[in-house]
């Protein structure tokens, strides 16, 4: 088995190879919250880079619920032509192109000025950075049903635009992940309590999407292998959720881990054993794979072909790569040509872990920006400089977002 062998999905679709460009936060929407020319240019780089599967960064199902300003939103067909262009770019060299769809729940910056909703009124705990997130309100039954409808409708629009699949984001502490975790879901109704109830939102979203899209349209789920917080979503919980998902027509599950409070997805897992190897979620994935009827993809830290091959040899079907492909969009093509490229960023060893996580994301976004304007990557950029530039851009985009939202209410 090799990373360059094709993968046949349960829905009959074929992925040209086992390398996936995993989702990263791009924040490159145009003023209408649709894909911008910069975003299209970034995906031209990835489309020609040799990966068999491209997964977009967060596409939000509700413009009132954003992971940050500058995010892309697909909630109606008013900008569908731009999404069609995005889909054409992503598929132009033969890769499968999936849209990651998401709702932030409580992980929405308070400065955006929108009502924050979550399964329960449990605030984000990030020490001095907690002030940047508003305490959430517990979602009513009507709000939950509206969110389900939005996920389903966004998936339907994604297929109309020409994407070949969607990935439902149920990881990294966002809304569906919040429902799954007993730390953030304190509800006593049908949406909380037992794991079966806490999984209900995810299952209803998946079931609703599968009911409205064509059989050949891929439906995938991004799931935490663990939250890395004591008392949170555990590997055993993940195993049981996978068994529940087996009953639905899910084509792939991507396993990752962590949240804003415990950003394991950036290599900062609290359990040191998960950092013993480059693919730091692999040991969880190997265990969870036994419960999965669908193909499994593992994402987190992979940057060398030898490690990617090791992942595939262990029985995992897909390798998700994020940071290394942010630095070198053509990494897969280089590997196929026999080059041993292994792009990496300098470690950020700041004592403030949440701030270090923000700096890490800023450095990654700097690489994405470079490619979006046809410049070479700059992996050696100062984390402090990248974070400062990102914060300035964040302020400007926040102003634009708030003006647009205010105008929409007039």
Which of 108 and 347 is assigned the larger pLDDT?
108
Kindly tell me if the per-residue pLDDT of 96 is higher than 60.
Answer: yes
* Average pLDDT, rounded, for the chain: 92
User: Model's pTM, two decimal places?
Assistant: 0.94
Q: In sequence order, what are the beta bridge partners of 166?
A: 99, 219
Domains and CATH numbers, the chain: 7-345 (3.20.20.70)
Residue 300's pLDDT is: 82
Q: How confident is the model at residue 275 (pLDDT cuts 50, 70, 90)?
A: very low
**For residues 284 and 257, is the Cβ–Cβ distance under 8 A?**
yes
CA gap 229, 217 in Å, rounded: 35
**Distances from the Cα of 388 to the Cαs of 77, 223, 261, 361, in angstroms?**
35, 31, 21, 12
Residue-wise pLDDT for 206-235, tens only, equals: 999 999 999 999 999 999 887 667 777 888
Q: How confident is the model at residue 36 (pLDDT cuts 50, 70, 90)?
A: very high
- Bin 289: left if φ > 0, else alpha if -120 < ψ < 50, else beta: alpha
Residue-wise pLDDT for 316-361, tens only, equals: 999 999 999 999 999 999 999 999 999 999 889 999 888 898 899 9
Residue-wise pLDDT for 52-69, tens only, equals: 999 999 999 999 999 999
Structure tokens at 310: 């090791």
Residue-wise pLDDT for 122-168, tens only, equals: 999 888 888 889 999 999 999 999 999 999 999 999 999 999 999 99
In the DSSP assignment, the letter for residue 137 is E
**For residues 221 and 253, is the Cβ–Cβ distance under 8 A?**
yes
């Amino acid at each position: 088995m090799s990373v360059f062998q094709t993968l046949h999905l349960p829905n009959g679709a074929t992925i040209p190879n086992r390398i996936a460009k995993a989702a990263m936060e791009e924040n490159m929407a145009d003023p209408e919250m649709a894909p911008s020319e910069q975003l299209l240019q970034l995906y031209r780089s990835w489309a020609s880079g040799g990966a068999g599967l491209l997964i977009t960064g967060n596409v939000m199902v509700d413009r009132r619920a954003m992971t940050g300003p500058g995010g892309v939103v697909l909630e109606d067909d008013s900008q569908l032509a731009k999404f069609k262009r995005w889909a054409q770019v992503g598929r132009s060299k033969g890769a499968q192109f999936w849209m990651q769809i998401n709702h932030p729940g409580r992980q929405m910056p308070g400065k955006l000025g929108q009502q924050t909703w979550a399964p329960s009124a449990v605030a984000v705990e990030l020490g001095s950075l907690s002030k940047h997130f508003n305490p959430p309100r517990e979602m009513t039954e009507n709000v939950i049903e509206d969110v389900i409808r939005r996920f389903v409708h966004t998936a339907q629009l994604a297929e109309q635009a020409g994407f070949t699949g969607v990935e439902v984001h149920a990881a990294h502490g966002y809304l569906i992940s919040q429902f799954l975790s007993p730390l953030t879901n304190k509800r006593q109704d049908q949406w909380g309590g037992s794991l079966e109830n806490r999984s209900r939102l995810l299952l209803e979203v998946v079931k609703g999407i599968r009911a409205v899209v064509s059989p050949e349209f891929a439906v995938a789920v991004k799931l935490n292998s663990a939250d890395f917080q004591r008392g949170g979503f555990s590997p055993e919980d993940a195993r049981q959720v996978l068994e529940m998902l087996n009953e639905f027509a899910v084509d792939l599950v991507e396993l990752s881990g962590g949240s804003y409070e415990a950003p394991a997805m950036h290599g900062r897992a609290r359990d040191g054993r998960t950092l013993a190897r480059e693919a730091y979620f692999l040991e969880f994935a190997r265990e969870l794979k036994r419960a999965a009827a669908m193909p499994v993809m593992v994402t987190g830290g992979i940057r060398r072909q030898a490690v990617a091959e090791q992942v595939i040899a262990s029985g995992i079907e897909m390798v998700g790569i994020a940071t290394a492909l942010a630095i070198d969009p053509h990494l897969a093509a280089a590997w196929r040509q026999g080059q041993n490229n292994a792009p990496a960023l300098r470690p950020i060893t700041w004592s403030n872990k949440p701030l270090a996580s923000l700096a890490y994301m800023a450095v990654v976004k700097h690489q994405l920006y470079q490619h979006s304007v046809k410049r070479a990557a700059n992996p050696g950029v100062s984390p402090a400089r990248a974070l400062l530039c990102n914060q300035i851009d964040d302020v400007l985009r926040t102003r634009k977002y708030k003006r647009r939202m205010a105008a929409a209410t007039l």
